[in-house]
Structure 1
Amino acid sequence: MRFIPLVPAALVLTFTAACSQAQSDKTTDSPSNARSDMPKGGDRRKDKNAAAEIVGLSKVGSLKGKVPESSGLAPAPEGGHYFSFGDDGNSPTLYEISGTGQLIRTLNVPATNTDWESLSRDGSGNYYIGDCGNNESTRRDLKIFKFRPDSPQSVGTIAFSYPDQREFPPKKKQRNFDCEASLWHDGQVWLFTKDRGQDRTSNVYTVPDQPGTYTAKKITSLAIPGQVTDAALRADGHRLVLLGRGELFILDGNSWAEILKATPRQVSLAGAGQTEGAVFKNANTLLISTEQGGLFEYTLP
């Protein structure tokens, strides 16, 4: 794994906490996971069998007809429940589901859904919706919405821009300003970009968790041989999972600084579908959703 320090070595990072593939990406996939992973037409049986053969992966439910194009997951206030949502083209709605995909309730959020891609929660019960999908790197209106489920009509807006973006859009090989994964920690929302260029580098930025307008701070870059679609950090802070399309990248360390320097272990989930959401159910198990409506549990190695 390549680690590119962009801040003084004395800075120690700590971390905790949880951006879907937008419409145009349904025809442009990462090289490591081509369209053969997508359940389409005559390939449905093949894909179902392939998913069943992945060690540690089991299908536990379906979101079809309940959550349109599930693009992320985060814990709901009630234990054993989770929030999910749809990306661009869908309503600004959160869907509370059980661990087996049963729809519990819907929560309408008074905010725009230009391209919702991530959802995370802080220790005080605030949620952060990442309206930061940016497939073509053309957006100048990137936002994170801050709200509480017990007071959903009060929504704060964290507007941000990237410090290193000069063109809208940049050349295709330099389009690394799409974010589908974010996490909250210690007063900051952390953003992991999805490289649509050629380097397969996930850039890591932070913005404050308070409403306002900010220039994001670039922290580092991670060499990830895939396109990041979600992120989840274990409760003890020692394991970070970056979800890609049909794959996982696992990074371990005793601190957040160590995690950022760790060599990722790559796990294939080929056949599961367009994997877009991931959240820890417990220390060793992930709940994973797909845009096609699949809901899986995965026991981490």
Structure 2
Amino acid sequence: MENSSEVTFFILAAYGDLGKRKYFYFCVVLLLNLIIILTNITIISLIFVDRSLHEPMYVFLCNLFLNELYGSTALFPVLSLHILADTHEISRTFCVLQIFCLHTYGSIEFCNLAVMAYDRYLSICHPLHYSSRMTSCKVSSLVVFIWLFSFINFTVILSLQLRLPLCGNIIDNIFCGNYFLVQLSCVDTLLNNIYGLFASVLTVTVPLIPILYSYANILRICRKSPREAQVKALNTCVPQVLSILYFAVSGILQTAQRRFDMIHNPQASHVFSVCLLTCPQLLNSIMYGVRLARIREAFKNRFFPNSAV
């Protein structure tokens, strides 16, 4: 294939011949998808119907769970179809759409965690001014900014990738990724690499600054606070810190695996990639549902109103 205009579809070569194992893999993927959908929709619904949860912290949580659904929708349906299919072709349009959704999902996730950290900073470090600083208008603006920033940033990356002429259509992976399409290019990709590095730094730096600033100040305030106030502050921050840590670790491990091929067994490598991608989607809703007392209380009141537990 001499140029990109001739490439109308890609072959996801990493599936290989799964044999009868494909039914087991399909069931696992389906179960994961159902858990992610049910847990995230349940908490989104609780936040939506329970007026006591109509606060900035829970609005940002709702945005986080909506993004988990967005990311899982970009991955699981195509993954499920290809596990069962005998051929593993994906049209160029759907491949590009999957790339866009998965990359923007990651950016939105990190930006939303940064905004949540800032919200906790205002609540703990400036409680008297919290209501005046974190207004409904500001909450809405931050949510819109998170999505717009991620969409615009990756649209530029994708437009640079789409101009590249391609010399092949075989992707050695089980889902589409920008890195794999750039590898198929027939020409020098220096501009893509430079802007990709710049965009990666921007995507990490913009959220990381408020995260570090917020939690540094929260720790400073907690050290000077009574024991009871410290416990209360830490209880609301621990889920967010854990979310940031395993999201960051997942991103680092995915990049390292892609660049340095740490796992040499191809099938294990691809399973590892899917696990890293789905970890935040699977764990966030469960962790927040278990750790945050007000969500537990709202769940109990909605589904078990007569329970004494």
Provide the TM-score with structure 2 as the length reference. 0.29
Higher relative contact order structure (alpha carbons within 8 Å, sequence separation ≥ 6): 2
**Is the radius of gyration larger for structure 1 or structure 2?**
2
Bigger fraction of residues in strand: 1
Provide the TM-score with structure 1 as the length reference. 0.29
